[in-house]
Amino acid sequence: MIDIVLLTLLLAVAIAIIRMKDLFAVVMLSGIYGLLSASFFVAMDAVDVAFTEAAVGAGISTLLMLVVITMTGRSENTTRHKPFPALLLVVITGCLLIYGTLDMPYFGSADAPVHSHVAPRYINDSMQEIGIPNIVTSILASYRAFDTFGELVVIFTAGIGVLALLSSVRRPDNGDKIVCINYSMHEQHLVVRIVTKMLLPFILLFALYVQFHGDFGPGGGFQAGVIFAAAIILYAMLFGLSTARIVINQPFIQLISATGVLLYGCVGLVSLLNGGNFFDYNFLSNDAITGQHLGIFLIEWAVGCTVASVIIIIFFNFADYRERQQSNENEHNQESP
Contacts with other proteins in 180-219 (CB under 8 A)?
A: 216-218
What is the SS3 assignment for 117? coil
Only segment of 32-40, 189-197, 251-259, 281-289 that touches other proteins (CB under 8 A): 32-40
CB-count exposure of residue 135 (10 Å: 0-12, 13-18, 19+): middle
Confirm if 296 and 280 have CB atoms less than 8 A apart. Answer: no
Closest CB to other proteins among residues 64, 238: 64
* Residue 187 to residue 192: CA distance in whole angstroms: 10
Binding flags for other proteins, 267-286, as an x/- string (CB under 8 A): --------------------
CB neighbour burial string for 199-217, b if at least 16 within 10 angstroms, e if fewer: eeeebeebbeebbbebbee
**Does 257 engage in binding with other proteins (CB under 8 A)?**
no
Rounded to a whole number of angstroms, the minimum distance from the CB of residue 73 to other proteins is: 8
List the end-to-end C-alpha distance of the chain, in Å, as a whole number: 64
What is the SS3 assignment for 75? strand
Closest CB to other proteins among residues 235, 321: 321
Q: Using the rule CB under 8 A, which residue among 32, 35, 129, 166 binds other proteins?
A: 166
Task: Tell me how far the alpha carbon of residue 12 is from its chain's centroid.
Answer: 25
Confirm if 220 and 303 have CB atoms less than 8 A apart. Answer: yes
Interactions with other proteins, residue window 106-125 (CB under 8 A) = 106-110, 112, 114-115, 118-119, 122-123
Rounded to a whole number of angstroms, the minimum distance from the CB of residue 273 to other proteins is: 26
Q: Using the rule CB under 8 A, which residue among 53, 280, 300, 323 binds other proteins?
A: 53
* Residue 137 to residue 48: CA distance in whole angstroms: 9
Rounded to a whole number of angstroms, the minimum distance from the CB of residue 272 to other proteins is: 22
Interactions with other proteins, residue window 223-252 (CB under 8 A) = 225-226
Query: How many C-beta atoms surround the C-beta of residue 182 within 10 A?
Result: 17
Rounded to a whole number of angstroms, the minimum distance from the CB of residue 5 to other proteins is: 11
Closest CB to other proteins among residues 170, 197: 170
Closest CB to other proteins among residues 167, 274: 167
Closest CB to other proteins among residues 106, 180: 106
Closest CB to other proteins among residues 47, 200: 47
Residue 71 bridge partners (DSSP):
none
